[in-house]
């Protein structure tokens, strides 16, 4: 049996990833390709720990958080019950909302990107995405979208961080462009235009 494809969505917070994951999943379903949709941080015990840290219920150093994401990702791949590796080996196409490029971009704001890449080496050796889709949304627009739907107090602080994260994504793509398949789409448009663009750009990878 041929292996399933593995499609990773990336982008800053509010870039429109989960919206596009949903649209792609529906489109694939219409084509008769039933996908397994998942996300990081996961809802495993390690993922729950990360959520508790991110919501401020537990305190942890940035390096500890980066390492927890490494562990969460390995469990996401290797878990016996619903691990991505088993799914892909069974021929199932897997779509994930965030994968290791999120770690490269978000954590390298506070620490060396090379360290983060090295720390995730097990995951990249186990499973590289068939294609990574980066939704490139202007931080101002992403923040506007977030503000419309969620309660946020520190939008200014958030903007400067998201600007840095966006730059770090491009730095990571530059670094790894030779070994990774990356497509970039302009996320500053309406949902359907972005979806059509994604479809055109990933089609060659789904053959």
Tell me if 98 contacts ligand TYD by CB under 6 A. Answer: yes
The yes or no reply on residue 190 touching ligand ADP (CB under 6 A) is yes
Q: How far is the CB of 40 from ligand TYD (least distance, A)?
A: 4
Enumerate long-range contacts of 78-83, CB under 8 Å, 24 or more apart.
78/126, 79/44
Q: Is 106 in the site for ligand TYD (CB under 6 A)?
A: yes
Among 101, 93, 138, 98, smallest CA distance to 117 is for 101
CA 26 to chain centre: 19
Which of ligand ADP, ligand TYD, none does 108 bind, CB closer than 5 to 8 A by kind? none
Residue-by-residue DSSP string for 22-33: HHHHHHHHHTT-
CA dihedral 66, 70, 72, 74 (to 10 degrees): 180
By CB under 6 A, tell whether 9 contacts ligand TYD. no
Residue 14 dihedral angles phi and psi, to the nearest 5°: 80, 10
* Partner whose binding site includes residue 120, from ligand ADP, ligand TYD, none (CB under 5 to 8 Å by kind): none
Asked if residue 139 binds ligand ADP (CB under 6 A), the reply is no
Q: How far is the CB of 104 from ligand ADP (least distance, A)?
A: 17
In the complex with ligand TYD, the residue whose CB is nearer, 40 or 197, is 40
Interface residue list for ligand ADP (CB under 6 A): 11, 13-19, 145, 149, 190-191, 194
């Amino acid at each position: 049996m041929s292996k399933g494809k593995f499609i990773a969505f990336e982008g800053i917070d509010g870039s429109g990833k989960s919206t596009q994951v949903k649209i792609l999943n529906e489109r694939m379903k219409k084509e008769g390709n039933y996908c397994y949709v998942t996300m990081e941080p996961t809802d495993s015990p390690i993922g729950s720990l990360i959520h508790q840290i991110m919501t401020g219920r537990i305190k942890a150093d940035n390096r500890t958080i980066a390492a927890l994401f490494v562990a969460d990702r390995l469990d996401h791949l290797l878990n016996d019950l619903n691990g991505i590796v088993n799914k892909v080996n069974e021929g199932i196409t897997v779509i994930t909302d965030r994968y290791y490029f999120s770690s490269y971009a978000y954590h390298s704001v506070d620490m060396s990107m090379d360290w983060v890449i090295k720390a995730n080496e097990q995951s990249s050796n186990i499973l590289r995405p068939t294609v990574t889709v980066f939704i490139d949304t202007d931080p101002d627009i992403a923040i506007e979208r977030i503000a419309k739907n969620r309660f946020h107090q520190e939008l200014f602080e958030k903007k400067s961080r998201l600007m840095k994260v966006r730059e770090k994504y491009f730095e990571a793509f530059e670094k790894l462009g030779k070994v990774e398949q990356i497509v970039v789409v302009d996320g500053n448009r309406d949902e359907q235009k972005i979806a059509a663009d994604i479809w055109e750009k990933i089609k060659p990878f789904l053959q």
